[in-house]
Amino acid sequence: MPTLESAPTKSVPTFMLSQTRVIRAPRARVYEAWTNPETMKQWFGPSAMRTPNVSLDVRVGGAYRIEFAPNQQAPSDDHDCGGTNTAAFGQYTQIVPNQLLQFSWSSNWQPGEDSLVTVSLKDVDGGTELTILHENFNTEESRDAHNNGWAGSFDKLARILEA
């Protein structure tokens, strides 16, 4: 009996980014910056944005929501998350205190794009190595905009933790 061949499956390309920074602060302090809403308000988001509202339920299955607003003091050439009333939201999928946070990432400025963020922390000479892997972007443009946003966030994080 002849067999039917299925049509080759077309794979849809996905895009990812990775950044690594050394933050001159203890690992527990860097982890706390990711898990304390008041601390996160001070640094999270691109340099052109501020973060007025943060809600974190840091447990596997817990939800988070981070709201962004334009920062009038910042340069206008940075990614602005689409303007006012923007938010990123998702759920925590994996947590190892002081070592790893993984969470889904969706936003109202990129509807339909659901990605995954993994934050890894490890001790190194002089501080904490922070590595972020953000994967499953739909387009290169989205990946590049998020890459700029993470870079701006990490610049602010270093400023507040290294002060």
H/E run at residue 18: strand 15-23
What is the mean predicted confidence (pLDDT) over 95-116?
96
Q: Is there a domain that residue 144 lies in?
A: yes
Task: Count up the domains in the chain and report the number.
Answer: 1
**Could you tell me which residues are beta bridge partners of residue 67?**
53, 87
What pLDDT score does 75 carry? 45
pLDDT at 12 over 70: no
pLDDT at 149 over 90: yes
Q: Is there a domain that residue 116 lies in?
A: yes
Burial class (CB in 10 A: 0-12, 13-18, 19+), 120: middle
Q: Residue 95 and residue 89: Cα distance in Å, rounded?
A: 17
Q: Is there a domain that residue 10 lies in?
A: no
Q: Is there a domain that residue 1 lies in?
A: no
What pLDDT score does 18 carry? 98
Q: Is there a domain that residue 9 lies in?
A: no
In this structure, how many other beta carbons lie within 10 angstroms of the beta carbon of residue 16?
Answer: 14
pLDDT at 1 over 80: no
pTM equals 0.85
Q: Is there a domain that residue 72 lies in?
A: yes
Non-local CB neighbours of 60 within 8 Å, separated by 6+ positions = 92, 93, 94, 95
Kindly report the CATH number assigned to the domain that includes residue 145: 3.30.530.20
Residue given tokens 């387009």 in the structure block: 139
Residue given tokens 């001159």 in the structure block: 24
Q: Is there a domain that residue 4 lies in?
A: no
Asked whether the beta carbons of 153 and 44 are under 8 A apart, the reply is yes
Question: pLDDT exceeding 90 applies to what percent of the chain?
Answer: 79
pLDDT in tens, 37-87: 999 999 999 988 999 999 999 999 999 999 999 987 544 444 445 546 799
Range of the domain at 151: 15-161
Q: Is there a domain that residue 5 lies in?
A: no
